[in-house]
Amino acid sequence: MDNKNLPIILATCISIFLSSLACFLIGVNLAQNTTIKESIVVEQPKLKVLSTPINTNIIADVAERSMPWVVNIKLKGYVSPRISVFDFFGFSHYKAQQKHKIKIGGGSGFIISKDGYILTNGHVVRKSSDIEINLYNNKTYKAKVIGVDEMTDLAVLKIEEETQNLPVANIGDSSVLRIGEWVIAVGSPLGFEQTVTQGIISAKNRRVRDLQTSVDFIQTDAAINPGNSGGPLINLKGEVIGINTAIRADAQNIGFAIPINTAKTIYSQIIENGKVARPWIGIEMREVRISDGGTAVRVERVWPGSPGGKAGLKRKDIITKINGKKIDDGKDVQIAVRKHSIGKSIRFDILRNGRRMQLDIITEKLPDFNSRPKS
């Protein structure tokens, strides 16, 4: 080998070695960085992806489909005029001119059958002599009251004119509602027909002591005003899941609706029989505190010959559970009993003189008020 070329060969070898070493180090570094990045990606939580995109017009679409079967209820009732100072001085001609005054009111409702049955609130149509139904297409019909259920504040009307092809509401299932679910209310607040408001389900199974009904309400923040009563609360599938009934006057957007599942059995009985047959056990009761610091219900009176009396229930018995569910007040008892059909057995857990025991009470039909035993 020529000694002159030796330095060149050594320099070339050293250069190749250094280049190879540099490539190796760069490759290791890249591999480490890739591993770190991959590990970071794997550890990041995955966000839930909606199966379908949200339709920005969904409220408008539901409202548009619903309006044909939502109705405005207009009614007239007759009330006596206030007593005037003229009455005390014998001005009979003045009294003759003031026989009665006409009171005009109204509310909302929705069509539940093609032949013209309409569901609304009892307080909307109570004591009304002249009822008019206005539809979305500006058609107007006369209607009559088929029946009113005082315990749930529900009423069924029937369009008097023979009809067979009216638009009908889609009835949903209120048992599957979720708190936070979007809903819309459609009705005629303050006479403004076909008004739509939106909100969410704020709470379920809400007990409202100020309302004289045995109903566990749906609470919503969809705006409800006078005139909305009897109108539908609708989910985003376009199904009726409640009947708008009341608001909290001293709050903002706290409204209450009767669950549609409660209404289903009521309106079907009213249509068939004109009234609702309810189960009865025949007791009077009041709320009391018990030794564990909670509340229960004490029996104050057992009607003679009632289902409770036949089963051995006695005055001063304390009802703590019904069918295994804790009882806190009288409404709990009412709701528990009314969930059962007539002739069904209900198990009561009671305390009698400090001793725990169980009684099975078979419900009977609630008698008419005039036929109940007198105290």
Of 114, 133, 159, the domain-final residue? 159
Do 268 and 335 reside in the same domain of the chain?
Answer: no
Do 143 and 92 reside in the same domain of the chain?
Answer: yes
User: Contacts by 148-152 with C-beta closer than 8 Å and gap 24+?
Assistant: 148/122, 149/122, 149/266, 149/270, 149/275, 149/276, 150/122, 151/213, 151/214, 151/276, 151/278, 151/338, 152/122, 152/213, 152/214, 152/215, 152/258, 152/262, 152/263, 152/266
**46, part of any domain:** no
Q: How many CB atoms lie within 10 A of CB 85?
A: 8
**7, part of any domain:** no
Do 238 and 304 reside in the same domain of the chain?
Answer: no
Do 283 and 351 reside in the same domain of the chain?
Answer: yes
Do 116 and 198 reside in the same domain of the chain?
Answer: no
| Bridge partners of residue 326, in order along the sequence | 321
Do 133 and 176 reside in the same domain of the chain?
Answer: no
| Bridge partners of residue 143, in order along the sequence | 131, 159
Q: How far is residue 367's CA from residue 24's CA, in Å, rounded to a whole number?
A: 96
Do 135 and 189 reside in the same domain of the chain?
Answer: no
Do 180 and 140 reside in the same domain of the chain?
Answer: no
Helices and strands: H and E segment counts in the chain: 7, 21
In Å, what is the CA distance from 262 to each residue of 107, 214, 320?
Answer: 20, 10, 25
CB neighbour list of residue 331: distance below 8 Å, 6 or more residues apart: 207, 214
Encoded tokens for 59: 């409220």
**69, part of any domain:** yes
Do 132 and 66 reside in the same domain of the chain?
Answer: yes
Strands 170-171 and 239-247: parallel
Of 221, 240, 273, the domain-final residue? 273
Find the CATH number of the domain harbouring 155.
2.40.10.10
Do 303 and 248 reside in the same domain of the chain?
Answer: no
**66, part of any domain:** yes
Do 210 and 147 reside in the same domain of the chain?
Answer: no
**165, part of any domain:** no
Tell me which residues are annotated as active site.
123, 153, 229
Do 219 and 247 reside in the same domain of the chain?
Answer: yes
**242, part of any domain:** yes
Q: How far is residue 145's CA from residue 160's CA, in Å, rounded to a whole number?
A: 10
**18, part of any domain:** no
Count Cβ neighbours within 10 Å for each residue of 255-289 and write b for 16 or more, e otherwise. Answer: bbbbbbbbbeebbebbbeeeebebbbbbbebeeee
Tens-of-pLDDT digits for all 375 residues of the chain? 555 566 666 666 666 666 666 666 665 565 555 544 444 444 445 555 555 556 778 999 999 999 999 999 998 755 444 444 433 333 444 444 455 555 557 899 999 999 999 999 999 998 777 899 999 999 999 999 999 998 899 999 999 998 889 999 999 999 999 999 999 999 998 888 889 999 999 999 887 766 667 788 999 999 988 889 999 999 999 999 999 998 887 778 899 999 999 999 899 999 999 989 889 999 999 999 887 778 899 999 999 999 999 999 999 999 999 999 999 988 889 888 988 889 999 999 999 998 999 999 999 998 875 544 433
- How is 33-86 classified by DSSP, letter by letter? HHHHHHHHHHHSPPPPPPSSPPPTTHHHHHHHHHGGGEEEEEEEEEEPPPP-GG
pLDDT of residue 216: 86
Q: Exposed, middle or buried: residue 342 (CB in 10 Å: 0-12, 13-18, 19+)?
A: middle
Find the CATH number of the domain harbouring 352.
2.30.42.10
**How many domains does the structure of the chain reveal?**
3
pLDDT of residue 104: 56
**115, part of any domain:** yes
Q: pTM for the full model?
A: 0.71
Of 117, 132, 159, the domain-final residue? 159
Quote the domain boundaries for residue 319.
Answer: 279-371
pLDDT of residue 76: 74
